[in-house]
Structure 1
Amino acid sequence: MTTFEGLGIDARLIQATDELGYVNPTPIQEQAIPVLLSGTKDFIGLAQTGTGKTAAFGLPLLHIIDAAAKHPQALVVCPTRELCLQIVKEIELFKKYIKGVSVVAVYGGTSIGLQIRDLKKGVQIVVATPGRLIDLIERKAINLEQIEYVVLDEADEMLNMGFQDDIEFILKNTPQRESTWLFSATMPPEIRKVSKRYMKDPVEVTVGKVNTANKSIDHQYYVTSAQHRYQTLKRIIDFNPGIYGIIFTRTKVDAQEISERLTREGYDIDALHGDLTQVQRDKVMGQFRDKSLQLLIATDVAARGIDVQGITHVINYELPDDVEVYTHRSGRTGRAGNQGISIAIVHSKEMYKLKQIERINNSKFHKLDIPSGKDVCRKQFFHFMDKLLSADISHGDYETYVPMLAEKFADVSKEEVLKRVAAMEFDRFLKYYENAEDLNVRERGKNEQRDSRGNGKRDGGVYESRRDRGGSNGYSRLFVNLGTKDGFYKASFLQFILDMSDLKKEVLGRIDMKDMNSWVEIEKGAANQMIRALDGKNYKGRRIRMNDADSGGRRLNKRGEA
Structure 2
Amino acid sequence: MLTFEETGLKPEILRAIAEIGFEAPTAIQEKTIPHLLNTKQDLIALAQTGSGKTAAFGLPVINQIDSDSKKTQALILCPTRELAIQIANDFDAFTKYTTKLDVVPVYGGASIETQIKQLNRGAQIVVGTPGRVVDLIKRKKLKLEDIEWVVLDEADEMLNMGFKDDLDFILSHTPDERQTLLFSATMSKEVLRISNNYMNDPEEISSGKKNQGADKVEHFYYVVNGKNKYLALKRIADMNPNIYAIIFCRTRRETQEISDQLVSDGYNADCLHGDLSQAQRDAVMGRYRKRHLQMLVATDVAARGLDVNDITHVINYNIPDELETYTHRSGRTGRAGRAGISIAIIGPRDTNKIKQLEKVLGKSFTKSEIPSGEDVTKIQLEAYINKVKSTEIDTQQLAKYLPSISEQLDDLDREALIMKFVSMEFNKILSYYKNSDDINASAKAGRDDSGRGRKDGDFKKLFLNIGEKDHLTSGTLLGFMNNLPEMSKGVIFGKIDVQRSFSFLEVEAKHEQTVLDALNGSNFDGRTVSAEPKAGGGPRSGGGSRKRKSDSGKSPRRSGGIKGGGSRTGGRSRVKAKSGRRRS
How far has the Cα of 1:400 moved from its partner? 3.9
Structure-1 residue corresponding to 2:292: 292
CA drift of 1:441 comes to 1.1
Equivalent AA in structure 2 for residue 287 of structure 1: R
Q: Which residue of 2 aligns with 1:345?
A: 345
The answer for the alignment partner of 1:125 in structure 2 is: 125
Pairing 1:219-238 to 2, within 5 Å after superposition: 219-238=219-238
Q: 2:2, 2:402 → 1: CA distance?
A: 56
Q: Are the equivalent residues in 2 in contact too, given 1:79–1:130 (CA < 8 A)?
A: yes
SS at match of 1:271: strand
Greater relative CO, 1 or 2 (CA 8 Å, sep 6+): 2
Report the residue type matching 1:433 in the other structure.
Answer: Y
In structure 1, how many angstroms separate the alpha carbons of the residues matched to 2:6 and 2:103? 26
Q: CA deviation at 1:404?
A: 3.8
Work out the percentage of aligned pairs sharing the same amino acid: 50
Tell me, in whole angstroms, the C-alpha distance in 1 between the residues paired with 2:123 and 2:401. 60
Question: Which residues in structure 2 correspond to 1:218-257 (within 5 Å)?
Answer: 218-257=218-257
Query: Are the aligned partners of 1:313 and 1:342 in contact in 2 as well (CA < 8 Å)?
Result: yes
List per-residue Cα deviations over 1:90-110 (Å, max 9, x = no partner). 111111111111101101111
Given that 2:215 and 2:337 are in contact with CA atoms closer than 8 Å, whether structure 1 keeps it comes out as no
Q: Which residue of 2 aligns with 1:99?
A: 99
1:482-537: CA deviation from partner (whole Å, max 9, x where unpaired):
xxxxxxxxxxxxxxxxxxx9xxxxxxxxxxxxxxxxxxxxx9889xxxxxxxxxxx
Q: Which residue of 1 aligns with 2:201?
A: 201
1:308 aligned partner: 308
Q: TM-score if structure 1 supplies the norm length?
A: 0.78
- For residue 266 of structure 1, what is the amino acid of its counterpart? G
CA shift for structure 1 position 30: 0.3
| Residue matched to 2:493 | none
CA distance in 1, matches of 2:266, 2:282: 22
Residue in 2 that maps onto 1:167: 167
The one-letter code of the counterpart of 1:18 is A
Q: Is the 8 A contact 2:248 2:315 kept in 1?
A: yes
- Answering whether residue 356 of structure 2 is matched by residue 356 of structure 1, we say yes
Q: Residue 376 of structure 1 corresponds to which residue in structure 2?
A: 376
Structure 1 stretches lacking a partner, 5+ long: 451-455, 457-461, 468-500, 502-522, 527-562
SS of equivalent to 1:66:
coil
- Deviation readout 1:313-352 (Å, 9 max, x if unpaired): 1100011122210010011011122211111100010000
Contact 1:44/1:202 (8 A) holds in 2: yes
Amino acid at match of 2:328: H
**Segment drifting more, 153-162 vs 403-412:** 403-412
Change (3 A) 1:267 1:115: same
For residues 148 and 394 of structure 2, the distance between their equivalents in structure 1, rounded to whole angstroms, comes to 57
| 1:554 paired residue number | none
**Is residue 101 of structure 2 the alignment partner of residue 116 of structure 1?**
no
Following superposition, the deviation at residue 43 of structure 1 comes to: 0.9
Could you say if the C-alpha distance between residues 202 and 373 of structure 1 is closer, same or farther in structure 2, counting changes exceeding 3 Å?
same
**TM-score, length of structure 2 as denominator length:** 0.75
1:88-487 equivalences under 5 Å are 88-175=88-175, 177-393=177-393, 397-442=397-442, 450=446
State the secondary structure of the residue aligned to 1:286.
helix
Amino acid at match of 2:250: R
- Are the structure 2 counterparts of residues 524 and 405 from structure 1 closer, same or farther at C-alpha, using a change threshold of 3 Å? closer
Tell me how far 1:235 sits from its aligned partner: 1.2
Letter in 2 for 1:78: C
Aligned alpha-carbon RMSD (Å): 2.2
Contact residue 103 and residue 125 of structure 2 kept, 8 A: yes
Q: Is the 8 A contact 2:51 2:337 kept in 1?
A: no
Give the partner amino acid of 2:130. Answer: P
Q: Indicate if the aligned counterparts of 1:271 and 1:297 stay in contact, CA closer than 8 A.
A: yes
The alpha-carbon deviation at position 39 of structure 1 amounts to: 5.9
Which runs of no fewer than 5 residues in structure 2 stay unpaired? 454-498, 500-539, 544-584
CA distance in 2, matches of 1:336, 1:121: 35
Matched to 1:97, the amino acid is Y
Tell me if 1:75 matches 2:75: yes
Residue in 2 aligned with 1:558? none
CA apart distance, 1:236: 1.0
Q: Matched residues in 2 for 1:393 and 1:19: separation?
A: 35
Within 2, Cα distance between the matches of 1:338 and 1:205?
Answer: 22
Structure 2: distance between partners of 1:377 and 1:221: 22
CA distance in 2, matches of 1:417, 1:350: 49
Aligned residues: 457
Does the CA-based 8 Å contact 1:149-1:177 persist in structure 2?
Answer: no
- Displacement of 1:67 in angstroms is 1.0
Secondary structure of the residue that 2:13 maps to in structure 1? helix
2:43 maps to amino acid: F
1:527-560 deviation digits (Å, cap 9, x = unpaired): xxxxxxxxxxxxxxxxxxxxxxxxxxxxxxxxxx
**1:444, CA displacement in angstroms?**
5.1
Measured at CA, do residues 274 and 31 of structure 1 come closer, stay the same or move farther in structure 2, by a change above 3 Å? same
Secondary structure of the corresponding residue to residue 302 of structure 1: helix
Q: 1:174 to 1:39 in 2, by over 3 A?
A: farther
Is the alpha carbon distance of 1:221 and 1:395 closer, same or farther for their aligned partners in structure 2, counting shifts above 3 Å?
farther
Q: CA–CA distance in 2 between the matches of 1:2 and 1:27?
A: 10
Say if 1:78 and 1:129, in contact at 8 Å, map to a contact too. Answer: yes
**Structure 2 vs 1, CA of residues 396 and 51 (structure 1 numbering), >3 Å: closer, same or farther?**
farther
Q: State the shift of 1:238 in Å.
A: 1.1
Per-residue CA deviations over 1:350-400 (Å, capped at 9, x if unaligned) read: 000000001121111111111111111101001001111111226863344
Q: Distance in 2 between matches of 1:59 and 1:109?
A: 28
Deviations 1:415-469 (A, max 9, x none): 2222122112112211111122211114559xxxx5xxxxx9xxxxx99xx99xx
Instruction: Tell me, in whole angstroms, the C-alpha distance in 2 between the residues paired with 1:237 and 1:143.
Output: 50
Asked whether the 8 Å contact 2:348–2:444 carries over to 1, the reply is: no
Change (3 A) 1:103 1:524: farther
Q: Distance in 2 between matches of 1:141 and 1:254?
A: 41
Deviation of residue 5 (structure 1)? Answer: 0.8
Amino acid at match of 2:410: A
For 2:427 and 2:337, how far apart are their aligned partners in 1? 38
